[in-house]
Chains A and B, each alone.
Chain A
């Protein structure tokens, strides 16, 4: 965004002021995440920078909170649970969601608006309401405090994300490609695997990633319907923040920030791949 040559002095000042404001907002967005990374290497059990840390004295830094994290059976168990629940619910949500998205993208889908609104609703209904409702219902059918209960609940919460990303991918899918493949002599199976699948996969994978992160980060529903055996990472963090606040949480937080960077990179690569496959050159 360059300043045009005809800009007046006032406009120039305003332009730099505007850039400054944007810079501050970016700082507000990203600053907090950057602050906790060094804090997690604190050798003291405090949530702030010690004098040694500010003077870059090596004694101020340590890996003790990471050590705590990787040797604590409670944390390791919580990670295990998070992955079990996350992977199972992502699988269910992706399979059910992708199949349904195929139907929803059909031109002949009846009552599309109503059905779409219903399928998206788990994303709109506040989590605490879903959690309370599922608690009442799952207790009645003996699913509360079981892995199956938590997985089913998280599947419901992940479905809207799969639906949104996959229908978006399908809506930009050029159906003439299928006819082109047929006219070039490919049979339907070959067309599906060679043409349709590669184009749709990025959408499905990013939907699955959204569903996974939804489950992996979900606190409220687990808080209500899980038993002590299904303690997940977010629950462990939640009780850590409320009860015994220790910098181990900052170490976990740092690891989770790294995980989100990884996810973000994956999604960006998927987006580029999908654009390349469609023949859209990135600007």
Chain B
């Protein structure tokens, strides 16, 4: 008995083919997902959650509401024009007394000191004598420290009792909140971050440009030589790529420092006077040279893999059609290598703006990157909120570049070695 043409196709056990196929596909999907799940779970715990926590920390503002809960509550109804009423002063005196007893005022003092200098001493000095404060608290607090007689101090406390603050982000771009709640630039001598952001960007652009300039001819040579010889030369590219970052930075210190190899050679050759040795390290130049060297393979490898796919006959065809060498190169070969330039360029740029070790070791004062300030705020100034805010801004820039990269090239096209 033959089935009519309209009846659905069936598998051997009588299930319609479509249903059976859908079932198989779903099973394969689940199987694939299950294979990825352990890694995904691991990365979410060990990598994504820390990043989210850092983003949270860059706006998190728990200090005032935790350590001055009564004051924050009393200030809720205050309109901010004149000094608050006695109730708020009494609340502050009580908060400070409790805080002193629990020895928890240090965090609060440094938090408010970021916003208004002098707050650290105002809080710690008043807290020390808080147990002996007598009503009326308004007079006794202003006696203890004059900061409590200023409306700005109270406005600051009211403002910072909110659960989130933009002030770390403002500080990361050298801005602050004025007492009136307006965003103003910080005083001239304290502006460091914006300069560093710009310096990181333009120096990374210079490094990317230099790697392209040096990498393009080498990639071209490697792509056009016969395999046996290009493999041999490829070792010269891959060996530095595989060598420890610190080793490469160390060698540049040995070569470039004022008592180093290059200067010694120049002095011996009489090019440079012994007392006028070149300053090539611990400045911008040191950072640019060392990082160009370190990142050069990341430019050569993508360029090479693109150039390898361009048939050499294209150039010969262009020549035979009458194109002069330069014209043929510019109109035929070069446009075909643009994907490689984009891949290498974005890769080098992303890596460069996030570099920390090399600028820290060979950059001196003038060749530092914004990453060095993240480390500074993490380890020395201990202003972690600010470190988190700077890191978040940098992360944002990197993610933008990464999305562009992914759009243009596709991350699964990345090859190693």
Contact = CB atoms under 8 A, between A and B. Distances in A.
Interface of A: 1, 11, 14, 18-19, 21-22, 25-26, 28-30, 32-33, 35-36, 39, 46-49, 96-97, 99-100, 102-104, 106-110, 115-122, 124-130, 132-138, 140, 152-153, 155-156, 159, 161, 164-165, 167-168, 206, 210, 213, 216-217, 219-220, 224, 234, 237-238, 241-242, 245, 249-250, 252-253, 256-257, 260-261, 263-264, 267, 282-283
B336 interface: no
Contact of B39 (A21, A96, A136, A220): A96
A27 B221 CA distance: 15
Contact of A249 (B240, B243, B250): B250
B25 A108 contact: yes
Top 4 nearest A-B pairs (CB, nearest first) are: A126-B354, A103-B35, A137-B50, A133-B50
Given A48-B261, A126-B398, A237-B250, A25 B354 contact: no
Contact of A47 (B54, B244, B260, B394): B260
B218 A260 contact: no
Contacts of B325: 11, 14
B411 interface: yes
A25 B54 contact: no
Interface of B: 25, 28-29, 31-36, 38-40, 42-43, 46-51, 53-54, 57, 214-215, 217-218, 221, 224-228, 233, 235-240, 242-255, 257, 259-261, 264, 293, 296-297, 325, 350, 353-357, 361, 371, 374-375, 378, 384, 387-388, 391, 394-395, 398, 402, 406, 411-412, 414-417
Contacts of A264: 235, 238-239, 242
A149 B342 CA distance: 37
Given A110-B32, A234-B246, A36 B50 contact: no
B378 A224 contact: yes
Contacts of B29: 108-110
Contact of A159 (B35, B39, B255): B39
B218 A26 contact: yes
Contacts of B293: 28-29, 32
20 contacts: A18-B221, A30-B236, A32-B251, A32-B293, A36-B250, A103-B34, A108-B32, A110-B29, A118-B40, A127-B354, A132-B391, A137-B49, A155-B46, A156-B47, A224-B378, A234-B244, A234-B245, A250-B254, A263-B242, A283-B226
B43 to A, nearest CB: 6
Contacts of A49: 261, 264
Contacts of A104: 32, 35-36
B46 A117 contact: no
